[in-house]
Amino acid sequence: MTQLVTRIDDRLLDDVDELVREGVATSRSEVVRMGLEQLIDRHRRRQIGVAISNAYRRQPQTVEEMAGLYEATRALIEEEPW
């Protein structure tokens, strides 16, 4: 496993140590790994969202597709027992 070395301020270190004390993670290293994984996941999801949005801009849904969507949504709402 590769090791990363970084510097953080005392406030951030206190927050990391608090996460370990609360059992969110078992070590400082695990806190850092979890944070990096979440950052990477959020970035990738954002990229996917942008790609999907761009695709719809390039090729919008047709009136027929939207009509089907409205009908399906209406049917789902009518099925609810409110």
pLDDT at residue 81, rounded to an integer: 85
Cβ-contact 25, 31 below 8 angstroms: yes
> CA–CA separation, 41 vs 35, rounded Å?
10
> CA–CA separation, 33 vs 31, rounded Å?
5
SS3 content of the chain, % helix, strand, coil (to 5): 75, 0, 25
Tens-digit pLDDT profile for residues 18-35: 999 999 999 999 999 999
Tens-digit pLDDT profile for residues 41-52: 999 999 999 999
Average pLDDT, the chain: 95
pLDDT at residue 65, rounded to an integer: 85
Q: How many other β-carbons are positioned within 10 Å of the β-carbon of residue 16?
A: 20
Q: How many other β-carbons are positioned within 10 Å of the β-carbon of residue 31?
A: 18
In the predicted model, is pLDDT for residue 68 greater than 90?
no
In the predicted model, is pLDDT for residue 71 greater than 90?
no
In 3D space, the residue among 26, 2, 29 whose CA is nearest the CA of residue 13 turns out to be 29
**For the chain, percent of residues with pLDDT exceeding 90:** 79
